[in-house]
Structure 1
């Protein structure tokens, strides 16, 4: 093992080599054994990734799951909740009993069976917040600020096995460090750190999914192959559904040999890759004609003549048709019709596609159209968007028909799903350049339509600018969004408030969105994270000393922390040289117990933590105490 894997808090039982590792009868790397897992440094550790400023990064600390198991149990305990706010479309933020996502002008073709909001107390005192109905179903949309790993574990007790769809666009792994912080995250992870970061969150995410739940994970070229192997291990290879390439841009200059114009979306099901998906609507551009039945049948297209010469010949399908005194023969030739009826026909020869009874029904009900050209007249059949003819117990009837199609693996190769569309929408919502690399609403719309029904729960724990929750809200789904970055206040929440008020960008016009609904906002209550935030923004030694003095009174230190020794070594190194501001920040962070970044719900009653009454009411209401 390399030296850095033996530092305090970094011991791991796994090999310090990155690669494929078999655990079957022939243990070792690069075998052909089917029992393959991804082995990488610190695979058995937990990466918290506690960034909360887009321009601030820090070396991530690792906790060993086996050796420090008793300590790490507290890391995943539910956290105290704070800073509750209720937001509704009417703007007064007063709790109502309106359905969660009920728009103010719901179109008749949109589902309306949304969960009902329970009465809320604005200050959470003297009244119980109803986050869940009597059957334990989520009754509120949730926007949560805090470390997403810990937030996911906090959701576990109430929402395990209840999330239908998870979509995430996490920080990407890049082979080469980027000069700027991509996706407003610190994406310049070391490879092993990135794999751990993904693994920890995917493990708990899987527990939250319903049995027919699915997860879509956005990734890039550099990380895609390794992430797929990791997810094969976590979700099982047989539950891999597909990898969807997505066009990010159609053109653009590049100094490389190849221009990067696409990324990927990995798709996995929890249990069975054949369940959890719904056929996509078949929006064929050929449906463009209207007739007197448009209101009930929709558009129609003329894609086939009634006669055909490549069908196996059947005498019962070869008959004269009379329409308004005009007689038609299959193939347009009376003499050939007579020859066929006398037995002079080929194995495949001219005939009608419809029986005589079906034709008469179609003619009487508007499914027949005659087109005339210089070469003569031919009979066409109409194919409508919303109806078709069916034979039910020997009786022809017009029945409703939802035309669907299989989803192509090249579904997202159209420019409709590119970043350019997302940028245009974001520039309409916020000043130009406010948030880069956001995904378009059209992309999330297709994913949600493919995997969910109204009332299903959609989760995004790398919420970013809020696209996933914005689209889920417009589509009448319940949603949970988690974001730990500070821009959640100015960008994410603001965008979702615009959705409540009926903003008309993205998919709004396509789904006839006019506003409505509500959501609840709250945060995980910080403990040691509070001190880390103050350490990171300190600009002088004096400010850092002030933070340390506060830490000495209130912080939760690691078990090996020795205050007297620390104070001697805090400002100067072993050679008595002054320690830099950045190094001193790292030293201060290193003595804080990562298990206590946020206050545990189990410790809420301890007077030392000074938990407010409204925080207690909020936490009890959510966890069901």
Structure 2
């Protein structure tokens, strides 16, 4: 208060700064400060205290800290005057200060995150959406998003669990193990930053669709407000973007409830990317709406501008369009390309192409399209008018497309036909394999019976999304930070099985089912494939453990026991006075159970939900030898 009084007394020495009734004209002082008024600066320099506060010395020159002075002037109630208090200051305030005057950021995340509402770790917990609406200073947010200590590490392969020994790394030092990480997914993303920034080829996520119902691919809050859902997504997508490689692609699946809002947000975050919204028919039976029955959802592909990053789709043989391998039209004659005139040899019993003959000599002219020799049929590119034409592929290149050819007898004559098994992806995907009931729910039940997922993704819709981006990159890293039942990991394993790839998945999930469903599913697939493994990790909890106890409590008595434990072991907010909390226990008991829970969660320090890497060797956090070992190896601390 002394500095406040000194400043006021000093400013009043200048008559222009004082009104007729003796009060300071705050708006005049502000205007003078904004214009570096000489009279104002001289007043401040002449006072030793004010000189030390609002000026800094750079090479024997005093520099006026204009921003600090204006901020100081605006924030102090003792200088409020009726004329200027609201002049050009219409807007939101916190504690009487306008948002643009403060150096804090309000984090408003739904309880799924276990950051500001207390969290949900069990799928049976269904509550109304509640927020702490706390304000965290910028340095506190930095601390909140620090990398975390890792715990409960184990390697799981086709033979089950075994103790963690080490991380496998490639020649560049990057971890190559498949990873399943339990913990808040926003904090998990920041934990992955040091190791995987700029290295992830594909991020595929299937976030909560915000349908307002329980039917979803996740078993947690599915009824956010639009603004809340967007905040939830924006924080994560902004962090995830840093992990993408220069040619990295993001895929976000969504339905009609948030598709429009998501599209606008993606445009804002990924300004130099093109966005394609693909329609996938995943529920052919439809969900009845007021006017329409909905059979589809969307997959938003976010791709760096100007780059060809989506490969070709596979076309099954029964869906191929075949046409004649023999050329027609202009420049289709034998003389137009001599290397394209040769026999294709077919087994008449199986109609299979056996081999390709050599290019015919110039003086050899078969008198018809088919010649039978040694029980085999030699087919030449001769048309129905007996004109010698050419095949569309030269002899030196035709072997490469043998699997795309078929021999077909029609109207008594043989033809060789070409049907490509690949093609460009279309914007509408319709196929029985995308049915989420059969290839999602039923498939998951066959791997992990009695799971709580009502409508998980079809394995093959996820597979095709992943295939579209990383089919040609057998060492790609694929991240899913909304892992759910683990369909993304399953799809990566299937793609590797098909082509012998070494693609790596990283799955992040906070819910308890990550242990008994997500991990179990992946382990079951590894058992079936008889190949592969993954490392299971958890972010080490601290205050988060208290939050989960609070949320699980069924009565006030239990909460009071938790409070006693909190006083002794937890980290409370710096402004919590334990004595005052004890004095108000009677009032606490009169609150509803939900209000009691919210109060206890609010007084916990949210920066200490999980143990920060910087606290690894802090005795207060009691990190075990195993925890230090896996954490140091993950971050390569001693290398």
Deviations along 1:36-93, one digit per CA (max 9) or x if unpaired, are: xxxxxx99766672231223345234565xx7111111011011111111112233x4
Say which of 276, 281, 287 aligns to 1:247.
281
Q: What secondary structure, in the 3-state scheme, does the structure 1 residue paired with 2:537 have?
A: strand
Deviation, 1:170, is 0.7
Higher RCO (CA < 8 A, seq sep 6+): 1
Q: What secondary structure, in the 3-state scheme, does the structure 2 residue paired with 1:285 have?
A: helix
Q: Which residue of 2 aligns with 1:194?
A: 229
Question: Is 1:279 equivalent to 2:312 in the alignment?
Answer: yes
Q: Which residue of 2 aligns with 1:465?
A: 485
Q: Distance in 2 between matches of 1:246 and 1:368?
A: 31
Q: Distance in 1 between matches of 2:590 and 2:335?
A: 101
Q: Distance in 2 between matches of 1:523 and 1:325?
A: 70
| Counterparts in 2 of 1:381 and 1:55: CA distance versus 1, 3 Å | same
Q: Which residue of 2 aligns with 1:124?
A: none
Matches for 1:472-621 after TM superposition, within 5 Å:
472-476=492-496, 477-502=503-528, 514-572=529-587, 578-621=590-633
Q: What secondary structure, in the 3-state scheme, does the structure 1 residue paired with 2:583 have?
A: helix
Question: Is 1:304 equivalent to 2:340 in the alignment?
Answer: no
| Counterparts in 2 of 1:11 and 1:490: CA distance versus 1, 3 Å | farther
Contact 1:131 1:621 in 2 (8 A): no
TM-score by length of 2: 0.69
Say which of 67, 86, 90 aligns to 2:155.
86
Q: Distance in 2 between matches of 1:600 and 1:594?
A: 12
Give the paired residue count. Answer: 492
Say which of 322, 326, 343 aligns to 2:367.
322
Q: Which residue of 2 aligns with 1:624?
A: 636
Q: What secondary structure, in the 3-state scheme, does the structure 2 residue paired with 1:85 have?
A: strand
Q: Distance in 2 between matches of 1:204 and 1:530?
A: 25
Contact 2:326 2:392 in 1 (8 A): no
Deviations along 1:548-593, one digit per CA (max 9) or x if unpaired, are: 11111121222322223333334417xxx81111110111111112
Deviations along 1:356-385, one digit per CA (max 9) or x if unpaired, are: 99699999x998968462xxx556334376
CA RMSD of aligned residues (A): 3.8
Q: Which residue of 2 aligns with 1:19?
A: none
Deviation, 1:331, is 6.8
Contact 1:279 1:407 in 2 (8 A): yes
Q: What secondary structure, in the 3-state scheme, does the structure 1 residue paired with 2:572 have?
A: coil
Q: Distance in 2 between matches of 1:361 and 1:87?
A: 45
Q: What secondary structure, in the 3-state scheme, does the structure 2 residue paired with 1:458 have?
A: strand
Matches for 1:391-406 after TM superposition, within 5 Å:
404-406=422-424
Q: Distance in 2 between matches of 1:261 and 1:154?
A: 38
Q: Which residue of 2 aligns with 1:103?
A: none
Q: Distance in 2 between matches of 1:165 and 1:578?
A: 51
| Counterparts in 2 of 1:583 and 1:468: CA distance versus 1, 3 Å | same
Deviation, 1:601, is 1.0
Deviation, 1:276, is 3.1
Deviation, 1:9, is 13
Q: Which residue of 1 aligns with 2:124?
A: 55
Q: Distance in 1 between matches of 2:620 and 2:381?
A: 94
| Counterparts in 2 of 1:230 and 1:10: CA distance versus 1, 3 Å | farther
Question: Is 1:74 equivalent to 2:86 in the alignment?
Answer: no
Q: Distance in 2 between matches of 1:619 and 1:590?
A: 29
Q: What secondary structure, in the 3-state scheme, does the structure 1 residue paired with 2:249 have?
A: strand
Contact 1:246 1:264 in 2 (8 A): yes
Name which of structure 1's ranges 517-526 and 48-57 shifts more when overlaid on structure 2.
Answer: 48-57
Q: Distance in 1 between matches of 2:213 and 2:599?
A: 26
Deviation, 1:184, is 0.3
Matches for 1:99-114 after TM superposition, within 5 Å:
none
Q: What secondary structure, in the 3-state scheme, does the structure 1 residue paired with 2:242 have?
A: helix
Contact 2:109 2:131 in 1 (8 A): no
Larger relative helix fraction: 2
Say which of 209, 218, 225 aligns to 2:260.
225
Name which of structure 1's ranges 129-138 and 444-453 shifts more when overlaid on structure 2.
Answer: 129-138
Q: Distance in 1 between matches of 2:480 and 2:605?
A: 28
| Counterparts in 2 of 1:352 and 1:430: CA distance versus 1, 3 Å | same
Greater Rg over alpha carbons, structure: 2
Say which of 238, 256, 267 aligns to 2:290.
256
Deviation, 1:248, is 2.4
| Counterparts in 2 of 1:59 and 1:11: CA distance versus 1, 3 Å | farther
Deviation, 1:322, is 1.5
Deviations along 1:599-621, one digit per CA (max 9) or x if unpaired, are: 11101211111111111111111
Contact 1:277 1:450 in 2 (8 A): yes
| Counterparts in 2 of 1:371 and 1:305: CA distance versus 1, 3 Å | farther
Deviation, 1:284, is 3.9
TM-score by length of 1: 0.70
Q: Which residue of 2 aligns with 1:389?
A: none
Q: Distance in 2 between matches of 1:94 and 1:280?
A: 39
Contact 1:241 1:273 in 2 (8 A): no
Deviation, 1:137, is 1.7
Say which of 173, 186, 189 aligns to 1:136.
173
Question: Is 1:444 equivalent to 2:468 in the alignment?
Answer: no
Q: What secondary structure, in the 3-state scheme, does the structure 1 residue paired with 2:131 have?
A: coil
Q: What secondary structure, in the 3-state scheme, does the structure 2 residue paired with 1:405 have?
A: strand
Deviations along 1:124-153, one digit per CA (max 9) or x if unpaired, are: xxxxx2353452222311111000000110
Contact 2:333 2:390 in 1 (8 A): no
Q: What secondary structure, in the 3-state scheme, does the structure 2 residue paired with 1:241 have?
A: strand
Contact 1:572 1:578 in 2 (8 A): yes
Q: Which residue of 2 aligns with 1:407?
A: 425
Contact 2:286 2:294 in 1 (8 A): no
Q: Distance in 2 between matches of 1:54 and 1:234?
A: 31
Deviation, 1:286, is 6.1
Deviations along 1:534-555, one digit per CA (max 9) or x if unpaired, are: 0011112111001011111121
